[in-house]
Chains A and B, each alone.
Chain A
């Protein structure tokens, strides 16, 4: 079975631009979470979605938004990019809406903002 997939693998943008990152969860998983990992740090929680509804939100500005589609895939949008948004963006899927469900991570999208 395929694991969590993310696209694109790498992305280079300039300050002020907008970016959309995509994630497909493991088949049968209904929950998707997004994390940002800057170099030298652990991943930081951005959002969790379950059944197309936002269930949790981390301490990120409103420039960050996300949504989940009927097929449980998800998009993360970041507007007005800043240099500090350069990071590895990780998507994790889990089976359902129970917070203790194991989260499985995708390979990530590496975003560079110039």
Chain B
């Protein structure tokens, strides 16, 4: 089983739609969680950290369910510029390493 699993997509949605991505992780001891965004042939960039109480940044909302080892990202009012691959990331504290899922590709269409 992969340490971090995501639906690869692609998710094709119209502008203005709400879209949700899900991710599961295998290490129940994990403490820190993130969503990164990666544009085609570019480096990953931190989108937001994910906190236990859930957190929001503009149109983006992240949720964490520790009991189910499940992380989600909700994007409201999708823009063309949101088209990218979204990477679910868990911090492996022992190895001081970020463990990435394979990414979910989002294509927002006009």
Contacts and interface: CB of A to CB of B under 8 A. Distances in A.
Interface residues of B, number: 23
Given A33-B97, A56-B95, A100-B91, A90 B44 contact: yes
B96 A90 contact: no
Contacts of A33: 96-98
Interface stretch (B13-21, B62-70, B99-107): B99-107
A45 B93 CA distance: 13
Contacts of B101: 42
Interface stretch (A12-20, A70-78, A79-87, A103-111): A103-111
Nearest to B4: A42
Contacts, number: 58
B92 to A, nearest CB: 8
Given A99-B91, A99-B93, A100-B91, A45 B98 contact: yes
A103 B98 CA distance: 9
A43 B92 CA distance: 14
Interface of A: 33, 35, 40-45, 48, 50, 55-58, 90, 92, 99-100, 102-108
Given A56-B97, A105-B43, 13 more contacts: A42-B100, A42-B102, A43-B44, A43-B100, A45-B92, A45-B97, A55-B96, A58-B97, A90-B44, A100-B31, A103-B98, A105-B44, A107-B43
